[in-house]
Structure 1
Amino acid sequence: MAAIQQTQGDYTSSESTATEAIPFFDKTTDNQYKIAIYNTLGINYVNLFDYDNSIYYYNQAFNLAEDELQKAILKNNVAVVYMEKQDYPNAISILTPLVSIKKVTDNDENYARILDNLGFSYFKTGNSKKGLDYINQALKIREQIKDDFGITTSYYHLSDFYNKTNPVLSYHYAKASYAKATKINNANDRLESLEQLIKNSTGNQSKKFTTNYLHINDSLNKVRQKAKNQFAKIKYDSTKEKNENLKLKTQKAENDLLLEQEKNRSLTSYIIIVLVSSFLLFLYYYLTTKGKREKAKAVYDSETRISKKLHDELANDVYQTMAFVETQDLQNPVKKENLLGSLDKIYARTRNISRENSEIETGINFEEELKEMLSGYNNNQIKIIIKDNGDINWIKIQTEKKIALYRVLQELMVNMKKHSQCSFAAVSFDSNEKFIQIDYADNGVGMNNTQILKNGLHNVENRIQSINGTITFDIETNKGFKAKIAIPK
């Protein structure tokens, strides 16, 4: 499952699924399964730009590997992480010993991959002669074994190599890389090749490559999102069926137990059962009545809050729109456009009210729901960045704290969208022995104490205090807005 999600580019979900497999490891588990999981996590983390975790899991896999070729492949993966970090000297120190291992040199595909990475690293450290030699050696092997995926990478590296010294040759290799990537239908490599072509072209040609890049990138995002949604449904249906089967088995076991007890029940048992049943009935009645009262109060509070939002945020917009329709000539394109804008504004407010008052999933899917809520504020004007090192065990966090935190972050995001005028906002999650720590920051206009009260952020403070947490605001105007939240575990 994690491998499929990774192939579809859903690295966050793949990381979550792979992590679910780790608790099943025991002394009898074949090391190959462990290596596969750790390698999957290493790939996920490098694509999520969490390089330290990527190196950690590659090394975990390396420590379990017994085959020399497999060890070399994992070491190459670690070197790739250092290349992503632009730490090319470290990458060279890891790759150099690998080219002397017989099992590596006997395996053309992996030998070419290591040579190519080594050559590119030498090029990036300024040793162009040595770099070009290794890259060409790798290309020759790949052409001999007809490794189109590898040839695409070699052409791309050669294009980068000649980018400054020979733009014409750089353009030639970028175009060759793009052609190979198109042949094997590798969208990511096509995008990288198009970036090189854009760098080495001008005018209409550059515009053509840019348009092609945007089209492929948009199509790739749509395909990945569709795959993500389909996979989520498959997991949901599977879990639902499994739970229903478990429920039926539980009911059958309970029925069998009741029948057995019925056969062996004595007078004393009858008395005990009557007493226990009476107590349970009383307790059930008491708890049910109490629950109904609490639920009625919660419904009332929720209805009051929604009613206030409808009156304060929606009613005026609807009234103004009705007045506009009654008094304006809607055949006029400008007036018609204004009407559509007003309707869109009303729709957005309605959707936000619905989102803010929807039920919150507090079970095993809480983390995914929380991140999806935060990502939902991502648009063409605002980029949302989520950083999570994955060390928070949300299952052990109390439901009340999850709900409070969800609503607090939701209110911060709503405030950001309404008032901050920012182009990006970042939310990071961290944890220590005693606290969960969440940091929010944006590059907007910031606010002072008066604006915090005016914008309703005092509700945020009340929510955090209700779960014995703390929240502090950075109120330097025109330097963005920051909030630090600490919640006891």
Structure 2
Amino acid sequence: MASIQQINGDYYGSKETLTETLPYIKKRGIYTVSIKNYFGIADKELSLYDDAIYYYKEAAKDCTDSITKQAPLGNIASVYIQQKKYDQAINILESLNKKIANNIPGTSSKATVIDNLGYAYFKKGLSDKGFSLMNEGLEMRKKDDDIYGSIESNLHLAEYYSKIDSKKSNQHALEAYKTATKLNSIDERLRGLQFLILNNSGIQSNQYAQKYITLNDSIIKIRNNFKNKFAKIKYDSKKEKDENQQLRLEKAENQLSLERAQFKQFLFIVIFCFLAVLIFYLRKYYRKINRIEKIKTAYDTETRIAKDIHDELANDVFNTITYTQTQPLVNEDNKEMLLQKLDRIYSRVRGISRENNDVDTGSNYATNLKEMLSTYNSNQTNVIIKDIERIDWNSIEDLKKIAIQRVLQELMVNMKKHSEAAVVVVKFESNSNNLFIDYSDNGKGFEKAKIIKNGLQNMENRILATKGTITFDTEPDKGFKVKITMPK
């Protein structure tokens, strides 16, 4: 197939087909010589001269005797001529010619070697010696009735005469053209026409030029059609082979498919049962965990509420009761003082209620947060809230809003109980990725080592759970500062 493709000018396709033979090569021999020689021919015609020489040399290495080695050596010499490495070509051809002169049987055609040797001498600049050998080669081919070989000899002589005698050059070119036309050798016809175009002028030259263009366009079209046809034949053949192979595979696969289906069904049932049991126990486990967590949360909330009521609210109520028992309420000033005490108790009850209510994360979040912070304003403490309205709270997740409110609430409770601060500042800032909250007060502070003991570990846990960070900065008598950074 590769040979047929080369005859029809499809050298790339020929190399592709030759590549398909390589997996079938078991050892070096006549087949590897042939394959590599065809690779060399394809590369030579594609002007890949170095690659061509490589394959010709590899073919020569695989030759088992000196006789079969002559063909690839002759091909190497032809490529050297194309590369203008005339001395290297002459060395090979002289060696071949010597073997022919010594009557070694089976060597390359004597006429071919002599003609190529003469052409190499001519291209090197030794025109007389080259002409003599080329002319001798032509006469030998005529004597041996080597019609195809005479085409190459006439083309060589046409090139030799092209610069010294256009008439003789024209005769040899015309002879090569006619013989190539008779044998339907397209490439040689085109080479002959090239010389005829150069050797003639006027109308005659134009006619040859027109023939060259027509012939060249025609051969390109024919060779392209051949490539497409050959590709389709290969495709159809491969498709038929694959279909037959597929039928055999399908028969073998049918039984395997049935067994696989049965195994998959069994495996599916096993996996389904395992997952069902696993889901059941996981559901039961997480329900238990959630129930314990809810109980713990409720307990913590109840404990905190009881502590607030005992530590603050109960004391206020007791003081108010004592006041009513010891002070005459008919006095207007005493009545006013009683009302103030009752108002403080009411405010404290509302504060405890607000601390333990669900957090509203909707559109009123900022207002409610500000109101919660403001409840810690008193005659002793001034709470300043900065830029809370400038934050786009809609871009922040609900869980993070809840964490923010709970942490700020704990900070304010901590401040109320421990810091004795006169001024508290809570500042809000944000950029495209993060929310920043800065808390600071001028209270009495405490040692950093006591942060966990003071109940601030819970705040840190809340912030870390939202992938944020919280840092505490405090020293005795130097206030308390907290910086919170939370991704939106």
TM-score norm. by structure 1 comes to: 0.52
Match of 2:267 among 272, 280, 284: 272
Question: What is residue 190 of structure 2 aligned with on the other side?
Answer: 191
5 Å-filtered alignment, 1:209-248, equals: 209-248=208-247
Answer with 41-50 or 60-69: which moved more.
60-69
- Secondary structure of the 2:162 match is coil
- Secondary structure of the 2:153 match is helix
Question: What is residue 132 of structure 1 aligned with on the other side?
Answer: 131
Equivalent residues of 2:99, 2:107 under 8 A apart: no
Question: What is residue 31 of structure 1 aligned with on the other side?
Answer: 29
Equivalent residues of 2:114, 2:133 under 8 A apart: yes
Instruction: Note if 1:154 corresponds to 2:149.
Output: no
Equivalent residues of 2:115, 2:137 under 8 A apart: yes
CA distance in 2, matches of 1:277, 1:7: 66
- Specify whether residues 174 and 260 from structure 1 end up closer, same or farther in structure 2 by C-alpha distance, changes over 3 A only: same
For residues 258-287 of structure 1, give each alpha carbon's deviation from its aligned partner in whole angstroms, at most 9, with x where no partner exists.
56789xx8xx997336447999xxxxxxxx
CA distance in 2, matches of 1:10, 1:71: 26
CA distance in 1, matches of 2:269, 2:33: 58
Equivalent residues of 1:105, 1:111 under 8 A apart: no
Question: What is residue 66 of structure 2 aligned with on the other side?
Answer: 68
- Specify whether residues 278 and 150 from structure 1 end up closer, same or farther in structure 2 by C-alpha distance, changes over 3 A only: farther
CA distance in 1, matches of 2:16, 2:65: 28
1:187 Cα deviation after fit? 1.0
Question: What is residue 22 of structure 1 aligned with on the other side?
Answer: 22
CA distance in 1, matches of 2:31, 2:223: 26
- Specify whether residues 92 and 150 from structure 1 end up closer, same or farther in structure 2 by C-alpha distance, changes over 3 A only: same
- Specify whether residues 175 and 257 from structure 1 end up closer, same or farther in structure 2 by C-alpha distance, changes over 3 A only: same
Equivalent residues of 1:109, 1:147 under 8 A apart: no
Instruction: Note if 1:249 corresponds to 2:244.
Output: no
Question: What is residue 176 of structure 1 aligned with on the other side?
Answer: 175
- Specify whether residues 119 and 275 from structure 1 end up closer, same or farther in structure 2 by C-alpha distance, changes over 3 A only: farther
Question: What is residue 473 of structure 1 aligned with on the other side?
Answer: none
Equivalent residues of 1:73, 1:110 under 8 A apart: no
Instruction: Note if 1:50 corresponds to 2:40.
Output: no
- Specify whether residues 178 and 258 from structure 1 end up closer, same or farther in structure 2 by C-alpha distance, changes over 3 A only: closer
Number of residue pairs matched by the alignment: 273
5+ residue gaps, structure 1: 280-489
1:241 Cα deviation after fit? 1.5
- Specify whether residues 275 and 227 from structure 1 end up closer, same or farther in structure 2 by C-alpha distance, changes over 3 A only: farther
For residues 398-450 of structure 1, give each alpha carbon's deviation from its aligned partner in whole angstroms, at most 9, with x where no partner exists.
xxxxxxxxxxxxxxxxxxxxxxxxxxxxxxxxxxxxxxxxxxxxxxxxxxxxx
CA distance in 1, matches of 2:212, 2:235: 35
- Specify whether residues 159 and 260 from structure 1 end up closer, same or farther in structure 2 by C-alpha distance, changes over 3 A only: same
Counting aligned pairs with the same residue, the percent is 39
Equivalent residues of 2:3, 2:14 under 8 A apart: yes
Q: Give the superposed CA RMSD.
A: 2.5
Runs of at least 4 residues off by over 6 Å: 259-262, 276-279
For residues 117-153 of structure 1, give each alpha carbon's deviation from its aligned partner in whole angstroms, at most 9, with x where no partner exists.
1000001111112111211221122111111111111
Equivalent residues of 2:80, 2:89 under 8 A apart: yes
- Secondary structure of the 1:165 match is coil
For residues 64-85 of structure 1, give each alpha carbon's deviation from its aligned partner in whole angstroms, at most 9, with x where no partner exists.
1123232111101001111111
1:176 Cα deviation after fit? 1.2
- Specify whether residues 183 and 273 from structure 1 end up closer, same or farther in structure 2 by C-alpha distance, changes over 3 A only: same
Equivalent residues of 1:139, 1:154 under 8 A apart: yes
CA distance in 1, matches of 2:221, 2:73: 34
